Amino acid sequence: MYRTHNCGELRIKNINTEVVLSGWVQKVRKLGGMTFVDLRDRYGITQLVFNDETDADLSEKAQKLGREFVIKITGKVTERSSKNPDLPTGEIEITVNDLEILSKSEIPPFTIEENTDGGEEIRLKYRYLDLRRPNVQKGIILRHKTTREIRNFLSNKGFLEIETPFLIKSTPEGARDFVVPSRMSEGKFYALPQSPQVFKQLLMIGGYDKYFQITKCFRDEDFRADRQPEFTQIDCEMSFVERDDVLTVFEEMTKHIFKKVMNIDFPETFPRLKYDEAMEKYGSDKPDIRFEMKIHEISKSAKNKGFKIFDDAEYVGAICAEGLASYSRKQLDKLVDFVKRPQIGAKGLVYVKYNEDGTFKSSVDKFYSAEDLKTWADTLSAKPGDLILVMSGNKKETLTQLGELRLEMGDRSELRDKNKFAPLWIIDFPLFEKDEETGQLHAMHHPFTSPKISDIELLDTDPEAVKANAYDLVINGNEIGGGSIRIHNTEMQEKMFEHLGFTKEEAEEQFGFLMNAFKYGAPPHGGIAFGLDRWVALLNGSESIRDVMAFPKNNAGRDLMIDAPSEIDKQQLEDLHLTVVKKF
Amino acid sequence: MYRTHNCGELRIKNINTEVVLSGWVQKVRKLGGMTFVDLRDRYGITQLVFNDETDADLSEKAQKLGREFVIKITGKVTERSSKNPDLPTGEIEITVNDLEILSKSEIPPFTIEENTDGGEEIRLKYRYLDLRRPNVQKGIILRHKTTREIRNFLSNKGFLEIETPFLIKSTPEGARDFVVPSRMSEGKFYALPQSPQVFKQLLMIGGYDKYFQITKCFRDEDFRADRQPEFTQIDCEMSFVERDDVLTVFEEMTKHIFKKVMNIDFPETFPRLKYDEAMEKYGSDKPDIRFEMKIHEISKSAKNKGFKIFDDAEYVGAICAEGLASYSRKQLDKLVDFVKRPQIGAKGLVYVKYNEDGTFKSSVDKFYSAEDLKTWADTLSAKPGDLILVMSGNKKETLTQLGELRLEMGDRSELRDKNKFAPLWIIDFPLFEKDEETGQLHAMHHPFTSPKISDIELLDTDPEAVKANAYDLVINGNEIGGGSIRIHNTEMQEKMFEHLGFTKEEAEEQFGFLMNAFKYGAPPHGGIAFGLDRWVALLNGSESIRDVMAFPKNNAGRDLMIDAPSEIDKQQLEDLHLTVVKKF
């Protein structure tokens, strides 16, 4: 037997018990005729003690243990003379009478501690050692708890978890598919799912009115920071529902998770914000509402005062950063640099200091009187001591830029507390977005999203004005989930594909099976999908989703530990009827 | 609102309630001035009634409903005059006052009933319709329940469900990998996992001492009956355990599933049978022990009586089919044909009828006296009225053939009751099996399986005699799960690869990361993996695992519904640096 207890459970009440423990050696130290070993497993740390005089041989063996050796010991639980209140097991130690080395360890390439000395690349290469660090463990365990609670909640509501296939059909829609060459069908390929979207709709047509699945999805994207080629989705769908039925269930699920996993209550109903309003107020369709600092339009009072930049602008808007009127020239210059970064792409920034003494100091004093500036301040409900930041230009772009600036100011004022969570629903998204270059419409969510019934008549006359019956769950500026009521009849789906620039043949070839399925009694249905990785990262207070994945890939999509992707042998390529074309 | 209730829940206690129901039209019939519609969803069927006289318009609308139309109705629950005791809702019906057609249906290509008129191909093509059939639903719901109980059981035992990656590295070991070409790394490929084996071992090294995962695995095999290119595994691993620790946990899990999902109790401990004994007694390493009919060796009494076939044979063995001494010539000939089928490959069969009157009649009366045959009968504990079937040849082959014959006789005598379940453990498998042609040893389970400690000394001298610390869970002749205690040190793993014919370089290239991981403190560990599809099919009484998968592929690995695999466009191929080589 390797253990009677784990390394986190022994307490003062266990004194005099004979125990067997196994684990990893965290630390060995000699102190006043005694040798102490900290033994670690995922449950905790227990102190082992060896008496250098009474059992010299065993003590010497203990002194020779290296970091990360795996050992098994037998001993008796004894009360510590000097207790450690920081450790749950800190009142006891084990007086060891037998020690067996199960497995030696070379010196690990970085320290296995919360604050490690290892950089990300080396930690990914030795991910099995990184996984031993308590903070990484915390994320992995949190992920387990979260999925468990989701499954319990949905199962108790009558949802069935149903597995949909991974080897499916490539559809040149959305992101790029990963494909899988078929050996049996020469020259043909499966594709890995970007989401189970079509299958869950087919399940609705199949009569499984409440479906969910926690499953991997795949996107072959050009890798960006914090994207992974494979990620996990909580995929849900319901039949015979309207939007509010869906929101009710998944708002309850969200509350359930926060309660069960984090012990956080949300007594109130989540706010619901229309897309247009979110853009106007927060410059984002995933607003962080942990803090106010809303965007206000001041076009009316800013224009026609001789300041050409504002006069030429479609839109002038501002935010008010509370208490920052004392910002120095240098601090303000840095803000200008911030909004000029290519990621934001603004041309500049106008500031207005509403000084404590009630006077104004701005970068546009030449054009605006104190009275003018007071009008802005009033629009923004600014108080003396506040800093007003103004941007202008094309309305859509300026709002987005103000949104970014708002988040930056929120960070600077420490208004974005990691331990505070502010969920809300965004509703009434546009059905389409227009490619500015080609003029082609794209589906904002996906081509299966139903328009709002009240807007259907606009489909032919003014498609850009049509709102979708779609919704996102947003928490702390992150899009945690998104979904919609779907189209459930062939005619509407065909019209949708038409608007999206599909020919009849293309639509038929790619989605014929779905449109065919609509012909055999499709129920009204809708659903939602959540990004599990992002959600758990948020709960865990992690910046990166890599922190809550056991074996993540790096930003270039490589698994540094197993060295994948890699070359395959010639025979395998031949069996797949493929050759690699090397570029020179 | 689409519904206040589902179609399976209304009872006599709901009488006079105003309800809204939605569902599919199962059947419409006119009877004595009334029109009846059976409305169906996955919860059941509720009868709707329309009075042709008092509400002629509505009644006419109802009469025009086709099979599988999706409708929504409003009405009042009323007591039926003629009740249907076969239906949970059979005491009530809904007197409809409003009817809305949500979705029409063309005439389905087969009937949506338990006994359908659709062949398998058409049902796979229209799988979304097949999924509406109550028996298919039963399997899908059973699968959900089973995975739910597995997750609950293991989570309650402290196991963590941890996701391992899908885009991994190709290893030319075991079956063929499906591969995924990388767009970002020219000429390189990911592989889809055949199992998470290596990753779960790395999790053990990472300190996650109780891991499980219910996950998809992939094997690019030449398709055989009832194999699927993607299948689902319940993958489990534990650290600091010996074999019996693993068997104890997963025997308890098995009992839990049977209890919770099927309400079947197994009060006794599962039998444990050594591999050698299973082969000798049942001619199979996955014996069906729902019935006895064990194999007995009769070489000693059968040889040296002048019957050349037996004299030349390495082994003569027999089974006793109770009460079948009355088998006709024709029936016996059919048995001979059965064993001569290429799948079994025997040359023939000797029968001995132990007649009710105590006399013997056999196909070898020329060589054996009644006394000789009585000796065989005694060895087999045969009684008057029984039929003894004898086969001979190479020992291993003959045992396997007798094993097949035993199953056939079990079927004929209806000893293999679908509703009876007989689980057992098979233990002490050989570590290696030899390729008879090349003489090369292969791992019987996989190359990470540890030999039994007592056999380690035989590794160099007589590797074929070495037993593995491996085990299978077998139920009703199906291998439901298999696992082992793993190797956890570099030297042993290197020796194992050597025996398996890997060069040092090959081992390093393919499994270097694992052997490297062993150098940093690997705990003793072991685990097991179960085939979920097979297990659920068994519980469901299904012949095929396709019955319990929502969207199975056909035996050629094609998804007939979405038409995959399929061609991909030129640009996609180019992006992947690939060309297809057509064979002529």
**Mean of pLDDT over chain B:** 95
| Distance to chain A for B93, nearest Cα, Å | 21
pLDDT, position B44:
96
Listed by number, the residues of chain A in 364-393 with a beta carbon closer than 8 Å to a beta carbon of chain B are none
Instruction: Look at B171 and B186; give whichever has higher pLDDT.
Output: B186
The pTM of this model reads 0.95
pLDDT tens-digit readout, B154-171: 999 999 999 999 999 987
Listed by number, the residues of chain B in 456-515 with a beta carbon closer than 8 Å to a beta carbon of chain A are 488-489, 513
What is the CATH class of B291-412?
alpha beta
Are A160 and B176 in contact (CB < 8 Å)?
Answer: no
CA angle B139, B424, B400 (to 5 degrees): 95
Amino acid found at B196: P
pLDDT, position A175:
82
Q: Which segments of chain B belong to CATH 3.30.1360.30?
A: 291-412
Assign A488 a pLDDT band (cuts: 50, 70, 90).
very high
Q: How many residues does chain B have?
A: 584
Please compute the mean of the pLDDT values over residues B60-78 and round it to a whole number.
97
Listed by number, the residues of chain B in 29-58 with a beta carbon closer than 8 Å to a beta carbon of chain A are 40-42
CA A213, CA A191: separation in Å to the nearest integer? Answer: 19
Q: Which residues of A touch B166 (CB under 8 A)?
A: 166, 192, 216, 218, 230
Interface check for A231 against chain B (CB to CB < 8 A): the answer is: no
Lowest-confidence region among A59-63, A223-227, B152-156, B211-215: A223-227
pLDDT tens-digit readout, B109-151: 999 998 988 899 999 999 999 999 999 999 999 999 999 999 9
What is the predicted ipTM? Answer: 0.95
pLDDT, position B342:
93
pLDDT, position B170:
80
Please compute the mean of the pLDDT values over residues B369-383 and round it to a whole number.
96
Are B162 and A232 in contact (CB < 8 Å)?
Answer: no
Which residues touch A457 (CB under 8 Å, ≥6 apart)?
none
Are B519 and A176 in contact (CB < 8 Å)?
Answer: no
pLDDT, position A435:
85
Coil, strand or helix at A423: strand
Distance of CA B159 to the CA centre of its chain: 24
CA A151, CA A163: separation in Å to the nearest integer? Answer: 14
Please compute the mean of the pLDDT values over residues B544-552 and round it to a whole number.
96
Assign B172 a pLDDT band (cuts: 50, 70, 90).
low
Are B550 and A163 in contact (CB < 8 Å)?
Answer: yes
CA A166, CA B554: separation in Å to the nearest integer? Answer: 15
Please compute the mean of the pLDDT values over residues B546-569 and round it to a whole number.
93
CA distances from A242 to A21, A192, A208, B197 (A): 56, 30, 16, 44
| Residue A224 reports pLDDT greater than 80 | no
Q: Which residue of B has its CA nearest to A241?
A: B2
Q: Which residues pair with B78 in a beta bridge?
A: B93
Long-range CB pairs of B133-139 (<8 Å, 24+ gap) are B136/B547, B137/A207, B137/A208, B137/B42, B138/B540, B139/B536, B139/B537, B139/B540, B139/B542, B139/B547, B139/B548
pLDDT, position B583:
66
Which residues touch B44 (CB under 8 Å, ≥6 apart)?
B6, B7, B8, B9, B87, B88, B89
- Picking from B446, B466, B431, B444, the residue whose alpha carbon sits closest to that of residue B200 is B446
pLDDT tens-digit readout, B140-155: 999 999 999 999 999 9
pLDDT tens-digit readout, A116-125: 888 999 999 9
Comparing CB atoms, the residue among B105, B216, B580 nearest residue A577 is B580
Are B242 and A2 in contact (CB < 8 Å)?
Answer: yes
pLDDT tens-digit readout, A67-105: 999 999 999 999 999 999 999 999 999 999 999 999 999
Interface check for B453 against chain A (CB to CB < 8 A): the answer is: no
Are B564 and A169 in contact (CB < 8 Å)?
Answer: yes
Q: Check if the beta carbon of residue B551 is closer than 8 Å to that of residue B131.
A: no
pLDDT tens-digit readout, B399-424: 999 999 999 999 999 999 999 999 99
Interface check for B262 against chain A (CB to CB < 8 A): the answer is: no
Cα separation of the two ends of chain B: 60
Interface check for B570 against chain A (CB to CB < 8 A): the answer is: no
Coil, strand or helix at A533: helix
Are B577 and A576 in contact (CB < 8 Å)?
Answer: no
Lookup result for tokens 């190359």: B447
Interface check for A248 against chain B (CB to CB < 8 A): the answer is: no
| Residue A172 reports pLDDT greater than 90 | no
Q: Which residues of A touch B577 (CB under 8 A)?
A: 580-583
Assign A61 a pLDDT band (cuts: 50, 70, 90).
very high
Are B128 and A517 in contact (CB < 8 Å)?
Answer: yes
Instruction: Look at B489 and B303; give whichever has higher pLDDT.
Output: B303
Q: Which residue of A has its CA nearest to B511?
A: A562
Please compute the mean of the pLDDT values over residues B549-561 and round it to a whole number.
94
Percent of chain A with pLDDT over 70: 99
CA A35, CA A32: separation in Å to the nearest integer? Answer: 8
| Residue B55 backbone dihedrals phi, psi, to 5 degrees | -140, 75
Are A181 and B186 in contact (CB < 8 Å)?
Answer: no
Q: Which residue of B has its CA nearest to A490?
A: B103
Measured from the Cβ of residue A265, the count of other Cβ atoms closer than 10 Å reads 9
CA B115, CA A232: separation in Å to the nearest integer? Answer: 38
Q: Which segments of chain B belong to CATH 3.30.930.10?
A: 136-272+422-571
In a mutational test of the B interface, the residue from A180, A211, A536 whose CB has the highest number of chain B CBs within 10 Å is A180
Measured from the Cβ of residue A579, the count of other Cβ atoms closer than 10 Å reads 15
| Residue B318 reports pLDDT greater than 90 | yes
Assign A439 a pLDDT band (cuts: 50, 70, 90).
confident
Are B199 and A551 in contact (CB < 8 Å)?
Answer: yes
Give strand ranges (E) for A405-475.
423-427, 432-434, 441-443, 470-475
**Mean of pLDDT over chain A:** 95
| Residue B584 reports pLDDT greater than 60 | no
Q: Which segments of chain A belong to CATH 2.40.50.140?
A: 12-103
Which of the four CATH numbers 3.30.1330.20, 2.60.40.1190, 3.20.10.10, 2.40.50.140 does domain A12-103 have?
Answer: 2.40.50.140
- CATH code of domain A136-272+422-571: 3.30.930.10
